[in-house]
Amino acid sequence: MALGAMLLANAALAGDEAQDKKAVQQVFERYLRSVKTADLALASEIWAHRGDVLVVTPFGRFQGWEQARTELYVNFLQKSFVERELRPANVAIGVASDSAWLVFDWTFTGKMADGQTITSKGWESHVYQRTPQGWRIVQLHYSVPPPPPPRP
């Protein structure tokens, strides 16, 4: 009987974990849309609005939702590009209680205001926290490959 109760409890936890991963995946999909559209209202729905939110990028480290909003969405996505596309690959999601993490490889393509197009590739990781409003991003880190070493 005790074994049966343990198996049922483990099955319930596994079900909750699968449900949590699906919920984090949905927030991630909304994040991708927020990058493509540089939509501040959408971004506001998926990020935690706290002072300890952290964003680490090749162009700076930002703390707090307001600074993340301004530097990532306004100054980078809105002011630098008229078109944006962030394509993920190799997405992996983990969940432990009220925290979750997601990592992926990305390809970013964009068109700048002057018509120039760029493509870059790199890696990104997110930390999510369960809140009364659902899962929210509390940390983002992305990096790009280093330049190749100089040739002798």
Spatial separation of the C-alpha atoms in residues 55 and 1, rounded to whole Å: 49
The reply to whether the predicted model has a pTM over 0.75 is yes
Tell me, yes or no, whether 95 lies in a domain.
yes
Q: What is the CATH number of the domain that holds 50?
A: 3.10.450.50
Tell me, yes or no, whether 112 lies in a domain.
yes
Spatial separation of the C-alpha atoms in residues 25 and 93, rounded to whole Å: 8
Tell me, yes or no, whether 84 lies in a domain.
yes
Q: Residue 10's pLDDT is what?
A: 42
Q: Residue 13's pLDDT is what?
A: 43
Tell me, yes or no, whether 151 lies in a domain.
no
Tell me, yes or no, whether 152 lies in a domain.
no
CA dihedral for 66, 71, 127, 45, sign (positive or negative): positive
The total domain count for the chain is 1
Q: Residue 33's pLDDT is what?
A: 98
Tell me, yes or no, whether 55 lies in a domain.
yes
Determine contact, residues 104/117, Cβ cutoff 8 Å: no
The two beta strands, 60-63 and 81-96, are unpaired
Tell me, yes or no, whether 86 lies in a domain.
yes
Q: Residue 150's pLDDT is what?
A: 82
Identify the domain containing residue 74 by its residue range.
2-143
For 1-20, write each residue's pLDDT tens digit.
554 444 334 444 445 999 99
For 77-97, write each residue's pLDDT tens digit.
999 999 999 999 999 999 999
Q: Residue 113's pLDDT is what?
A: 87
Cα dihedral 85, 40, 99, 95, rounded to 10, equals -30
Structure tokens at 56: 């680490």
Tell me, yes or no, whether 149 lies in a domain.
no
- Using 70 as the pLDDT threshold, list the residues of the chain that sit under it: 1-15
Residues with Cβ within 8 Å of residue 112, at least 6 apart in sequence: 80, 81, 82, 118
